Structure 1
């Protein structure tokens, strides 16, 4: 017969889903106070966090990183420039390098050092300190050498004194120091170096006697902190514009840091540019000096050569030499002609035959004085000859003229000799000059080559000198016109509202944590829980059907009965067992009369369930027998308050009389209802296993089937002894009782094994001990405080339920008496740790 799960309430489980939302909702409702406390606590912690946490603002700026040569890449890249324009390639290498430089630790440290951001100031506050920037009444500083060797921060606390002055205390290298000063400036000696304290000239407020805290850190450490809060990213792949973003608790400090970072970046870039220009200038000046010296040497050589060779300009000098040569050649001819004429005249004059004769004149002599003397002489000679025609030689006139001629004649002879000698000297000079000009014309090619070489060197050096002068001027212009490499497009600007902490996000996180903490705790407790708490646990552990849930009244104490089902009663316990009785009818056929009632371990309530189920069946008019086959730990007689003496099932099984009369003698009426009989176990036998397997027991059950409508057998726990498994041959169905907050989850491995191996017939489960007074059950079963079902009086008390704690020990006596004698049933505390 297929197993079913019969439910006694209207709770609909979400069986098809792996996530049981109703179970989660029940857990939330059950532990609502946990969630309320957790949410309130987390929100309070979030409130304290927001009050203690300094707001963080975001500051951003955009800068254009200029390229050194915008055309260099296009000129050198060839066809790659086309791909760059198409966006296939990007010119990001240089830009990426500049971004890395802009975000370098070196620049950050310079910016931090320049702005003295390595010193932090704050006023003491209640929940958080008030951080100061530019508004501290006192500024502190240390020497650069001490700052670079600062291994640990130096902390100072400055407290104004009521009587005037200040109390300074602090710590450096884990050594504390303190002193009192009347005012500032002052120098404080520490193990890390001297700390200089000065009044802030920009401080216009009042400290109001508040305590000022100062922390001095190593600039490199603060640079790392600023770098960690700064990000530099390009705004797109196709531009060289970088966005600088920074988060800080002080907006002005972040803006100042960004401006200083950009400034030192430009300063560094300009230093690199100027360094090249300065080195270029030094090189150019050095080369100009060298070239100037070489050029002067070349010009000196040229001058010396021209002086030595009497040159001004080779072409003009050659032309002049040629003209001079022609001139001197002409003079040579003229002088030779004159000399021949003078020589001829001298020979003529020296001839005695030509004395008193006319000397040849107008021959072309160039000496005018000689020509004049000859002309005067000839005039005298002509006059004498004319006189001699008319007068004798002795005539005084003739004698006078003859004397005059005689006086002129030696002078002419002397003049001719003198003129001839002068012409000969002049002729020698002209010949020398002629030879000189002839030499000049023959030396012209060599001089031209030498002058060309010297001129070439002079031209090269002059051109190089001119280039160097031009480069020096260009370099000077470059130095004078150096522009910043980073152009600020958007100046640093901070957000008005803080970016952290985000109040809504913190509240949301607190709310989530407020829910997650108790939820996680509940989940963890469920993971650590090793006992079942309800039907949900059973359904996760086994496929067996749960026929019913048995409730318990946990707030009832002493003096309450273990048999809670009574005649003419209509309470929740009656309804519970009525539901079990009804569901059992769907499991067992009318011909099936024997029902085993057992559990895995003691104290799970199998005897309670079996006796009350029997009472419920008896109330519906069926003849019911409760058989106590837990012969190792018998309890039925004590439960019903029966005085059995030596009577019981073991007496029948151990005896030799097998008559029906002897068997009936062992059966007692329960005293609770006429239709309910009880067959107690009787005396504890030494060999219970042999009695259970005897044929007399089989015969007895065959008679029970004839005499009764239902036989309910109370058996030992299956997890302790094998008696129940041996009794499986006698039964038609089996009820396994488990108890809330008591039964171990691992025990269901035993139940599943027995079921899979088919050792017991028609196994079904009954969940016992469901306490509706506990919210976890009240919400699940939907009863709550509904009428008397929420507070159901005496019902649910386990009364004198047995004690299987140390199996085999005597159960604690509840001082119970038979109902026939008017006694009361066992106390509930006797039941709590008993079966």
Structure 2
């Protein structure tokens, strides 16, 4: 028992590994299917490579300039930390990489190159994609393209001197496309659609053709998303700001144009950001210059009117000392008045709600250095926020943080401006006070001169402010004109070859798949089989010895020929049973001669095996008897062609006479062979289970042991009734018959349990019904082409426990 359990554990370990022998068997037996599958797979791969559009990759390197405004000492320290690997230069540069791959830049490129329209030319098998060589150019007005959300498919055909257009319009929420047809009599021409006007014109660089052209007009957003997905922007290293742009496309010219236009659009977008402060400053300066010019004109008009009215030409009666002091404080008043006007104008600008979160004009000439630094810092945050909003939303945490800082700085700047204004007012009051003091000292100066000085002072203030604003405007114009590009090209677009489909990989994959598919399919079908097919399956399911393989016998309806083993015959069947009887001699001991022959379910051929084994042993010169203990469904009488009478084992078991003479009267002697006797089942009793359990069976087998060399017991299937387990007490060994392509694999769980529980003596297996005509057996057994054998035919089926149904025509070793 311990040895069997150990064998079962070893069998489970062996099954856990991959069986290369089974794989090799599958390959050899199905080589023609593997060859056919490989040829088909390679053919499909060739067609795939022939008609699939190749995809090419192009790359380009650009240098993104680092416009860090921090101190040189700070930047040198940062570079030292980067070289040691402590930090990486990936904050602002990562943002630039995201901007390069953003949909905003992609939309600029698509619109500039008109990639929202795709062209194809009709071919024999598939359509040919075109770029720049399309015979006609299809387009729509820019404002309509920006607003269009529908997809338009057009088929353009020649019709006489004009064109005929068939179109389908796919609206976003429509279930079915809208179909339309238009005629264009001459080129250039146009036609209307539900979403706008489509224009058609000849392509001057393309050759005319008579084949139909297909055009696809995509929404700008969809086209930008489609082309943007083909682009990847990566950093070449962590310590540089060099970006490598890779773009894949089926058209090489389009790939080059896309990368070049991407670089151009990126610089334009970056320059717009940098010029935003200058543009805001220009607007502010323009409005202030207009206002100051108007005030200066009024002051000069007042001066002219005053002189005319008072007939004034030249005034020289000034007190030297008083006049000098008065002039000094007068200049101070002019400067303070200028600063006050600038501060007031900035406060008015900030009081306007429309200017919230916008840049504040800073380069106006404020003398308060702290105030100028605060305004520059605020403007930097505004520009940074506006740049991030182009590639992300306002809900971005970094954008929110910058917005919060701007909202906190706004009141601080306004408060600071008020403080500056109050300070200027304080200084101005002091200057006014001093000016009045010295003015009193020149009281003798005529009133006309005093009034004239007042008007002149106002004129000087306005003129000085006007000149300063004009100077700032010119400086702002210079700043706009000298804006440098954000990036520059290091390596122009260059080809990296075809990226798909890769011919060698596709053909290799097809070769592997073509060879692996039939092998895997056969292997999978083998794993899904629930019936055994041959010795290999049996050896995988159990370690119980398999002592014989019985080939499939031919059909026969002649009862005299239902025995496959005959005297003076030497075919495959006789050889199989000779091998079985030889192996039995190694299994049975010296005094062991009772063989229990059974199976798990009906139809596996236990009666066929037991009768032919008895015949084979008798031909060896052994005195053999076969006992029909399948008393629920007796078969021996019909199988041997014996007369139907009441003789049989059941008559002996039911009798109280236990003598051998009584038993011998139930035996039919010399059946088919002088050495072969048959003890049939006899009359079917109402209580077969109780009858088998009587002690008379033990006495009968004991007597048969004395008079015969071998006693073979034909018993019922062990999985259906318990009779066989009761009969096993009188046996010396058990032949468990299983049938190829018939016995379920689940039966071996019961067989192993019987072996493990020692419920039947010396269980050995016989594999019956091996069809040698099948290639799997021809390879496995090596019999292959020795001869042809028919099928068994149909086996009978047990019905409800203890009851047997009707039997169809039986094959040679069926049980019905």
The answer (yes or no) to whether the contact 1:14–1:20 under 8 Å persists in 2 is no
Q: Which residue in 2 is equivalent to 1:803?
A: 796
Q: Which residue in 2 is equivalent to 1:206?
A: 208
- Quick one: distance in 1 between partners of 2:184 and 2:488? 48
Deviation at 1:769, TM superposition (A): 1.1
The answer (yes or no) to whether the contact 2:322–2:439 under 8 Å persists in 1 is no
Secondary structure at the aligned position of 2:586 is classed as helix
> C-alpha root-mean-square deviation of aligned residues, in Å?
4.0
Q: Does 1:167 align with 2:164?
A: yes
Which has the higher mean CA deviation after the structures are superposed, 509-518 or 672-681? 509-518
Q: Does 1:250 align with 2:248?
A: no
Deviation at 1:578, TM superposition (A): 2.5
Q: Which residue in 2 is equivalent to 1:717?
A: 717
Query: Structure 1 residues 798, 665: closer, same or farther in 2, change over 3 A?
Result: farther
Query: Structure 1 residues 262, 645: closer, same or farther in 2, change over 3 A?
Result: same
Q: Which residue in 1 is equivalent to 2:346?
A: none
Deviations 1:684-738 (A, max 9, x none): 1222122211222111100111111211100000111111011011111111111
The answer (yes or no) to whether the contact 2:135–2:202 under 8 Å persists in 1 is yes
Which has the higher mean CA deviation after the structures are superposed, 242-251 or 673-682? 673-682
Secondary structure at the aligned position of 1:72 is classed as coil
Query: Structure 1 residues 670, 29: closer, same or farther in 2, change over 3 A?
Result: farther
Q: Which residue in 2 is equivalent to 1:365?
A: none
Which has the higher mean CA deviation after the structures are superposed, 596-605 or 524-533? 524-533
Deviations 1:440-489 (A, max 9, x none): 99959x99xx9xxxxx9999999999987776555444333222111011
- Quick one: distance in 1 between partners of 2:494 and 2:510? 32
- Quick one: distance in 2 between partners of 1:31 and 1:293? 102
The answer (yes or no) to whether the contact 1:46–1:510 under 8 Å persists in 2 is yes
Q: Does 1:36 align with 2:35?
A: yes
- Quick one: distance in 1 between partners of 2:161 and 2:218? 29
The answer (yes or no) to whether the contact 1:532–1:742 under 8 Å persists in 2 is yes
The answer (yes or no) to whether the contact 1:108–1:227 under 8 Å persists in 2 is yes
Deviations 1:143-170 (A, max 9, x none): 2343234333111111223x55332211
The answer (yes or no) to whether the contact 2:236–2:242 under 8 Å persists in 1 is yes
Q: Which residue in 2 is equivalent to 1:182?
A: 185
- Quick one: distance in 1 between partners of 2:51 and 2:62? 35
Secondary structure at the aligned position of 1:737 is classed as strand
The answer (yes or no) to whether the contact 1:74–1:81 under 8 Å persists in 2 is no
Query: Structure 1 residues 656, 85: closer, same or farther in 2, change over 3 A?
Result: closer
Which has the higher mean CA deviation after the structures are superposed, 215-224 or 284-293? 284-293
Secondary structure at the aligned position of 1:166 is classed as strand
The answer (yes or no) to whether the contact 2:162–2:187 under 8 Å persists in 1 is no
Q: Does 1:82 align with 2:75?
A: no
Secondary structure at the aligned position of 2:642 is classed as coil
The answer (yes or no) to whether the contact 1:158–1:213 under 8 Å persists in 2 is yes
Q: Which residue in 1 is equivalent to 2:238?
A: 237
Query: Structure 1 residues 629, 479: closer, same or farther in 2, change over 3 A?
Result: same
Secondary structure at the aligned position of 1:88 is classed as coil
Secondary structure at the aligned position of 2:746 is classed as helix
Deviations 1:648-695 (A, max 9, x none): 212222234333223122222353332222211122122212221122
Secondary structure at the aligned position of 1:598 is classed as strand
Secondary structure at the aligned position of 2:634 is classed as coil
Deviation at 1:569, TM superposition (A): 3.8
The answer (yes or no) to whether the contact 1:246–1:254 under 8 Å persists in 2 is yes
Query: Structure 1 residues 43, 250: closer, same or farther in 2, change over 3 A?
Result: same
Q: Does 1:662 align with 2:655?
A: no
The answer (yes or no) to whether the contact 1:541–1:748 under 8 Å persists in 2 is yes
Query: Structure 1 residues 295, 686: closer, same or farther in 2, change over 3 A?
Result: same
- Quick one: distance in 2 between partners of 1:311 and 1:268? 62
- Quick one: distance in 1 between partners of 2:124 and 2:321? 102
Query: Structure 1 residues 750, 41: closer, same or farther in 2, change over 3 A?
Result: same
The answer (yes or no) to whether the contact 1:627–1:679 under 8 Å persists in 2 is yes
Deviation at 1:619, TM superposition (A): 2.9
Deviation at 1:172, TM superposition (A): 1.7
The answer (yes or no) to whether the contact 2:553–2:813 under 8 Å persists in 1 is no
- Quick one: distance in 2 between partners of 1:312 and 1:782? 141
- Quick one: distance in 1 between partners of 2:198 and 2:324? 86
Query: Structure 1 residues 616, 458: closer, same or farther in 2, change over 3 A?
Result: farther
Q: Which residue in 1 is equivalent to 2:55?
A: 56
Query: Structure 1 residues 13, 92: closer, same or farther in 2, change over 3 A?
Result: closer
Q: Which residue in 1 is equivalent to 2:18?
A: 19
Deviations 1:41-91 (A, max 9, x none): 33333233223321111121111111224x626455685453134332122
The answer (yes or no) to whether the contact 1:562–1:797 under 8 Å persists in 2 is no
Deviation at 1:180, TM superposition (A): 3.6
Deviation at 1:516, TM superposition (A): 4.2
Deviation at 1:757, TM superposition (A): 2.7
- Quick one: distance in 1 between partners of 2:198 and 2:757? 87
Count of aligned pairs between the two proteins: 676
Deviation at 1:765, TM superposition (A): 1.6
Q: Which residue in 1 is equivalent to 2:509?
A: 509
Q: Which residue in 1 is equivalent to 2:370?
A: none
Q: Which residue in 1 is equivalent to 2:114?
A: 116
Deviation at 1:294, TM superposition (A): 11
Deviations 1:109-162 (A, max 9, x none): 11111111001111111222111111111111122343234333111111223x
Query: Structure 1 residues 502, 568: closer, same or farther in 2, change over 3 A?
Result: same
Query: Structure 1 residues 50, 113: closer, same or farther in 2, change over 3 A?
Result: same
Q: Does 1:546 align with 2:546?
A: yes
The answer (yes or no) to whether the contact 1:603–1:805 under 8 Å persists in 2 is no
Secondary structure at the aligned position of 2:226 is classed as helix
Q: Which residue in 2 is equivalent to 1:322?
A: none
Q: Which residue in 2 is equivalent to 1:154?
A: 152
Deviation at 1:502, TM superposition (A): 1.2
Q: Which residue in 2 is equivalent to 1:274?
A: 275
Q: Which residue in 2 is equivalent to 1:574?
A: 574
Q: Which residue in 1 is equivalent to 2:101?
A: 103
User: Looking at CA atoms only, which structure, 1 or 2, has the larger radius of gyration?
Assistant: 1
- Quick one: distance in 1 between partners of 2:319 and 2:594? 153
Deviation at 1:802, TM superposition (A): 6.4
The answer (yes or no) to whether the contact 2:627–2:713 under 8 Å persists in 1 is yes
Secondary structure at the aligned position of 2:498 is classed as coil
Deviations 1:568-621 (A, max 9, x none): 444332332232223323322121111111011111010111122222222333
- Quick one: distance in 2 between partners of 1:813 and 1:243? 81
Q: Which runs of 5+ in 2 are unaligned?
A: 6-10, 171-176, 308-313, 326-436, 451-456
The answer (yes or no) to whether the contact 1:311–1:317 under 8 Å persists in 2 is no
Secondary structure at the aligned position of 1:507 is classed as helix
Query: Structure 1 residues 731, 312: closer, same or farther in 2, change over 3 A?
Result: farther
The answer (yes or no) to whether the contact 1:87–1:238 under 8 Å persists in 2 is no
Report 1:220-369 matches (<5 A): 220-283=221-284, 310-311=317-318, 314=321
The answer (yes or no) to whether the contact 2:62–2:488 under 8 Å persists in 1 is yes
Q: Which residue in 2 is equivalent to 1:765?
A: 765
Q: Which residue in 2 is equivalent to 1:406?
A: none
Q: Does 1:138 align with 2:136?
A: yes
- Quick one: distance in 1 between partners of 2:201 and 2:43? 42
Q: Which runs of 5+ in 1 are unaligned?
A: 6-11, 319-438, 451-455, 815-826
- Quick one: distance in 1 between partners of 2:71 and 2:641? 110
- Quick one: distance in 2 between partners of 1:570 and 1:3? 38
Secondary structure at the aligned position of 1:92 is classed as coil
Q: Which residue in 2 is equivalent to 1:197?
A: 200
Secondary structure at the aligned position of 2:506 is classed as helix
The answer (yes or no) to whether the contact 2:15–2:540 under 8 Å persists in 1 is no
Deviation at 1:30, TM superposition (A): 2.8
Deviations 1:773-810 (A, max 9, x none): 1112222223323xx2xx1x56x7648x9634547446
Report 1:484-503 matches (<5 A): 484-495=485-496, 497-503=497-503
- Quick one: distance in 2 between partners of 1:157 and 1:237? 50
